[in-house]
Amino acid sequence: MKNTLLDLYRKEGTMKVLASLISIVIGLLVGAVVVLIVGLIKPNIGLKGTWDGMRIILFGVFVKGRDAAGQLAWGFNPRSWGDLLFRAAPVIMTGLSVAVAFRTGLFNIGAPGQYLMGTLATLTIALGIPSEAVPVGVIWLLAFLGGIVAGALWGAIPGMLKAFLNINEVLACIMTNWIAANLVTWAFDISNFKNVAEGTKTGYIYKTTFNGVATPKLGLDKIFPDSQVNGGILIAIVFAIGVYILMTKTTLGYQLKACGANRHAARYAGINDKRNIVLSMAIAGGLSAGGAALYWLSGNTEFFWSTYQSLPATGFNGIPVALLAVNNPIGVVFSGIFMAMLDIVGQNLTGFTAYNEYITDVIIAVIVYLSAFSLVIRSLISGRGKKKAEKPKKETQEGGQAQ
């Protein structure tokens, strides 16, 4: 039994999971320490506020509010959990986008631009087709697929530059990100989709519910009442399973990974490396844009069209999600939910204490850095595993010699 546990401990998959869990734990602890330091520096927070802040950092998703005595009330909060699942869906999709590219040897830092192009296509289709003439279900499907196609085409651009001109995909993605930001801003600026019905929101695009289009709840609103949850999280999970099957069970997935391992060796083996590089980035772009489609088709939020000022954080958040999951599509689901949980923790931190929600950005930053050093963490863990395995062997050998 002991040897079986040691064998399980020494497995590469176990090492990867442990490295990710260690990164998460250290990140949360660093966040708690930051909360402690800020609480001690600022007199308006006090010891009680500091203690509340530390608990929220570690267990914030379970906060229900404050009771009549002003104490934090804990337990299952359906609204927080529903909002968490709603926020997790697009992050899972962008995490899959980055993970697919990583598995094929490419760094897709262009997820924000692909996300924006998916936003443009999705909202244009969803708001542009009259729901009086076409069923809303058909409009939703067309908008979702249209967003994915737009993102795939946009993602293929840096892929082609990499494949045919050997231009670094990171540089190409950065350029396409800002081109997408300005293109989306210009397109919505001249469109008829700006919210003119409410005079204070002329810089926003109508919600898709303006046209009667919204992602079905699929009964999740009964489990998580008063939240933004919808069927988008289930769609994201289906995509994760599909990507896992594609990358591990199909010939195309094998070819994509072979190109990532060694492009020249793959070409020597008869694999079309240029085609697979373009295809990999196109798949990554489509996944990222699919995240945008799921987010905006929910009908919960309005899109602010002056995007040239900043790029969507959801696209960049796909990077730590993929790193935490070690580029495993199934792991991306769990790491995406964890990243969404940090958003909820940040909201509760701001809502129930005197702290700023951006402390959670410190946690994310620490986790990203530790995830980047996951090989070092794994080597330390595996070193301990080898020592544990060698110790019983040595004792066995000494026992045999004694006999």
Q: What is the mean pLDDT of each run of 10 residues along the chain (403 residues)?
A: 55 74 83 86 84 87 85 89 95 96 91 96 95 94 97 96 93 94 90 80 86 93 92 96 95 90 86 93 97 94 74 89 90 93 88 81 77 67 55 52 52
Q: Is the separation of the CB atoms in 309 and 330 below 8 Å?
A: no
Q: For residue 353, count other CB atoms closer than 10 A to its CB.
A: 25
Length of the chain: 403
Alpha-carbon distance of 292 to 305, in angstroms, equals 14
Q: What is the pLDDT of residues 8-65, one digit of tens each?
A: 555 666 777 787 788 888 888 888 888 888 888 888 888 888 888 888 888 888 998 8
Q: Which residue intervals of 269-328 are DSSP H helices?
A: 273-296, 313-324
How far separated are the first and last CA of the chain, in Å rounded? 25
Alpha-carbon distance of 258 to 180, in angstroms, equals 31
Alpha-carbon distance of 135 to 138, in angstroms, equals 5
How confident is the model at residue 7, as a pLDDT?
56
How confident is the model at residue 20, as a pLDDT?
79
Q: For the chain, what are the domain ranges?
A: 2-76+375-402, 82-327
Alpha-carbon distance of 85 to 82, in angstroms, equals 5
How confident is the model at residue 291, as a pLDDT?
96
Give the CA count within 13 Å in the CB-facing half-sphere of 74.
Answer: 7
How confident is the model at residue 87, as a pLDDT?
95
How many separate helices (H) and strands (E) can be counted in the chain? 16, 4
Q: What are phi and psi of 92, to 5 degrees?
A: -60, -40
**Chosen CATH of 82-327 out of 3.30.460, 1.10.10, 1.10.3470, 2.40.160:** 1.10.3470
